[in-house]
Amino acid sequence: MHKSFISQNPSVLWFLAALGLFTVIVTVMSEATGVGLVSTSFVKTLGKTLCLCLIAIAMDVVWGYCGILSLGHFAFFGIGGYAIGMWLMYARTEGIVLDSLAGQPIPATAQEISDAIGNQIFGVVGSSDFPLIWAFADNLFLQLAMVVLVPGLLALVFGWLAFRSRVTGVYLSILTQAMTLALSLYLFQNESGLRGNNGLSGLQNIPGFEDASQANISLAFLWASALALGAGYLFFAWVISGKMGSVVKGIRDNEARVRFLGYHVESYKLFIFTITAVVSGIAGALYYPQAGIINPGEIAPIASIYLAVWVAIGGRGRLYGAVIGAAFVSLLSSWFTGGGAPPINLGFYTVLWTDWWLVLLGLSFVTVTLFFPKGIGGLFDYLVRKPS
Amino acid sequence: MSMLLEVDGVTVTFDGFRAINNLSINFAPAELRAIIGPNGAGKTTFMDIVTGKTKPDSGKVIWGERNISLLGMSESQIAMEGIGRKFQKPTVFEDQTVRQNLAMALKNPRSPFAVLMHKKTPSNAARIEAIAEETGLLDSLTRTAGELSHGQKQWLEIGMLLAQDPRLLLVDEPAAGMTVEEREKTTDILKRAAQTRAVVVVEHDMEFVRRLNCKVTVLHEGSVLAEGSLDHVTSNQTVIDVYLGRAHA
């Protein structure tokens, strides 16, 4: 069965091979092996890019295959990041507090330790008490479960309400946009219990690996991200390959017809929406330890819109297209906005790419949508199959 | 005789316009029936009510031996009860192959989990091939549905209906845009299907209805105007007035 799945979907094998090769090459050339052709910060950028590719394939499944233009998947990504960030921050602060209390003649009580950790984490928002949502922050496994459960449950409840009322098309997009905006605004509050606009920081320091160099840690995360992307790609390729893919594409193309065939369309949408939300959460949980910081700005509506732009430019309805779009556009974006692109002096006006990159991105989005609806990934179709 | 479907005193109003007006109509478990009527007679609305797309303001829709009410059931539940519908415009999934289209329609568990774990079986493949043969699409199984001719798309949709194995087929204008030979073949397919189940054909084209050679129900302004053989209803003076009156209006 598994064999025939691969043989029917040769692109999956090609993708996994390319991903493996990429990871090995980056590893060999990284600072961790002493070659140092790829700097540690660039390894982090690449690792983060792999996470963005993972959420992009999730977006492609929900939008490109199922036709649900969700403009809220970065909310699930952010929730995944916050969930793992809570443990990272708690465990690291606990370590620091225990170290500083170690020399005391009278051992500190559990309450004193807890207060000290609370002070360290929440002092910045003028509090020292642990909010209820931090109840499991000391337990890595429970927080890892949260990475999956919280986005999954939110998507399940939100999707159930939206799909049951048969909200579709642009109205659903607006609703998802409202969801991510509401979540972002809520997290900006100091009372949200997640340090308001400060967000969670110091996430690049992994508790238990204080002695490991950032070069090694970044490499470990690169591998973890590549593994997650590979597994996610395989999983989604499997989901959309068989009859499920048929039904899901049918829902995209003609929802009413699928309903009259006897399929409960809402359950299918809910299923796709929820599994993609879970994968987005996992992608976020891998992304933010590499970014080092997460704050509510990350969940701002614009992030989810970028995600849709990546997938559109890369090519909807083909998983590798989403990967290409996310990798290409996000790397290009950091090059332009990070000062990599030289400013263009027109004499009367200087084009600064930090300002003009968004215009360029917008233009390419419009161009791709109008003239190349299949995106960059569509080029592969021309290479593989001769245009008829 | 017990009826497969009983529509009793159904009324539907759209913004004050009575699309269906106290409509009562019955179908036996195995029969071929043509429903004719001028534009706006309520033919499509009738199908919408039976398939759950439109909820009537009043009246009853009773289904099967257990006499269950179809009102309040969702489209997918009604489809699973055994009512299949072919739309006026051929609506097949153009991006997918003929085989995929038929496999999707094939009577099998419909829950997301069952579909996700679905494996191709020889018995399913045999059923798909039998239906493809019946509808003349055996050579086109691997083709993309979008490449098919208009007539073939119509047959594919009828094939998808048959694959659902429904007890009642509602077929909206199956002969629209077909050549004479294609029409003959369509008539044959529908007649064969009607031997084991109820087939209700909504049609404009009198020639096609004549070819079906079955009981005819004439709808006008949302209710039944006449019922009987085609010759019987076409000799009815009110039916002539309605049709000719429209034609000369």
- Residues A7-46: tens digit of each pLDDT: 778 889 999 999 999 999 999 999 888 888 889 999 999 9
**CATH code at B26?**
3.40.50.300
Tokens of A260: 């009259």
Mean pLDDT of chain B: 88
> What is the reported pLDDT for A342?
83
The most confident of A201-205, A270-274, A332-336, B136-140, by mean pLDDT: A270-274
Whether chain B has a CB inside 8 Å of the CB on A243: the answer is yes
Shortest Cα–Cα distance, B138 to chain A (Å): 20
Average pLDDT over residues A273-291: 97
DSSP label at residue A130: P
Q: Provide the pLDDT confidence category of residue A273 given band limits of 50, 70 and 90.
A: very high
Is residue B11 exposed (0-12), middle (13-18) or buried (19+ Cβ within 10 Å)? middle
**Range(s) of the domain holding residue B133:** 5-248
Residue B52: DSSP 8-state = T
Is B145 in CB contact (< 8 Å) with chain A? no
* A246 interface with B at CB cutoff 8 Å: yes
For residues A305 and A294, give the distance between their C-alpha atoms in angstroms, rounded to a whole number. 18
Residue A251 has pLDDT above 70, yes or no: yes
With CB atoms and an 8 Å threshold, state whether A267 touches B112: yes
> How many helices and strands in chain B, by DSSP H and E?
10, 10
Q: Is 90 exceeded by the pLDDT of residue A307? A: yes
Q: Which amino acid appears at position B243 of this protein?
A: Y
Here the contacts of B76-79 (C-beta below 8 Å, separation 24 or greater) are: B76/A259, B76/A260, B76/A262, B76/A263, B76/A264, B76/A265, B76/B110, B77/B52, B78/B50, B78/B51, B78/B52, B79/A259, B79/A260, B79/A261, B79/A262, B79/B51, B79/B164, B79/B166
Q: Name the residue among A1, A239, A264 with its Cβ closest to that of B76.
A: A264
Whether the predicted pLDDT of B249 surpasses 70 = no
CB-CB neighbors (< 8 A) of B53 in chain A: 256
Q: How many contacts (CB atoms, under 8 Å) link A and B? A: 70
Q: Which residue of B has its CA nearest to A254?
A: B93
Question: DSSP letters along B162-192, please?
Answer: HHT--SEEEEE-TTTT--HHHHHHHHHHHHH
Q: Do A260 and B85 touch (CB under 8 A)?
A: yes
Q: What percent of chain A has pLDDT over 70?
A: 98
What is the pLDDT at residue A44?
93
DSSP code string of A136-174: TTT-HHHHHHHHHHHHHHHHHHHHHHHHHTT--HHHHHH
pLDDT class of A387 with cuts at 50, 70, 90:
very low
Task: Grade residue A280 by pLDDT with cuts at 50, 70 and 90.
Answer: very high
For chain B, what percent of residues have pLDDT higher than 90? Answer: 44
Q: What is the pLDDT of residue B1?
A: 54
Nearest by CB: A249 against B96, B105, B110? B96
pLDDT at A36: 82
Give mean pLDDT, residues A258-267: 92
Contact yes or no for A68/A62 (Cβ under 8 A): yes
Work out the minimum CA distance from A237 to partner chain B, whole angstroms.
12
Q: What is the pLDDT of residue A67?
A: 94
**pLDDT tier at B180, thresholds 50, 70, 90:** confident
Instruction: Give the mean pLDDT of B77-93.
Output: 88
Give the tens place of pLDDT for each residue, B89-145.
878 999 999 999 999 999 888 899 999 988 888 999 999 999 999 888 999 999 999
Sign of CA dihedral B187, B193, B196, B198: negative
Partners of residue A1 in chain B, C-beta under 8 Å: 119
The answer to whether the CB atoms of A268 and B112 lie below 8 A apart is yes
* CB burial of residue B198 (10 Å; 0-12, 13-18, 19+): buried
Q: Is B87 on the interface with A (CB under 8 A)?
A: yes
**Cβ <8 Å between A243 and B104:** yes
Disruptive mutation site among A261, A267, A268 for chain B (greatest number of B CBs within 10 Å): A261
Contact A246 B104 (CB under 8 A): yes
Q: What is the mean pLDDT of chain A?
A: 90
- In which band, very low, low, confident or very high, does the pLDDT at B245 lie, cut at 50, 70 and 90? low
* Residue B246: per-residue pLDDT: 55
pLDDT of residue A3: 54
Residue A388 scores a pLDDT above 50 = no
Task: Decide if B75 and A267 are in contact by the 8 Å CB cutoff.
Answer: no
Percent of chain B with pLDDT over 70: 97
List, for residues B45-62, the tens digit of each pLDDT value: 999 999 999 999 999 999
pLDDT (0 to 100) of residue A60: 96
Calculate mean pLDDT across residues A322-339: 89
Predicted local confidence at residue A1, as pLDDT: 46
Interface check for A1 against chain B (CB to CB < 8 A): the answer is: yes
pLDDT at res. B41? 85
Query: Least CA distance to A258: which residue of chain B?
Result: B76
Exposure letters B60-71 (e unless 16+ CB within 10 A, then b): ebbbbeeeeebb
pTM score = 0.90
Residue B187 has pLDDT above 70, yes or no: yes
pLDDT digits (tens, 9 = 90+) for A60-115: 999 999 999 999 999 999 999 999 999 999 999 999 998 888 878 888 888 888 88
Using the beta-carbon criterion (under 8 Å), do A246 and B84 form an inter-chain contact?
no
Which residue is it, tokens 């593989």?
A384
- CA A216 – CA A204 distance, rounded (Å): 12
Strand ranges (E), chain B: 5-14, 17-27, 32-36, 58-63, 68-69, 83-86, 168-172, 198-202, 215-220, 223-228
Percent of chain A whose pLDDT exceeds 90: 61
Smallest Cα–Cα separation from B34: which of B130, B131, B157, B171?
Answer: B171
Chain A contact for B55 (CB, 8 A cutoff): no
Q: Answer yes or no: is pLDDT of A385 > 70.
A: no
CA A86 to chain centroid: 17
pLDDT over 50 at B248, yes or no: no
Residue A382, pLDDT above cutoff 90: no
Q: Check residue A322 and give its pLDDT.
A: 94
Number of domains within chain B: 1
The reply to whether residue A246 touches residue B51, judged by beta carbons under 8 angstroms, is no
Q: Which of B70, B73, B104 best tests the A interface by mutation, with the highest count of A CBs <10 A? A: B104
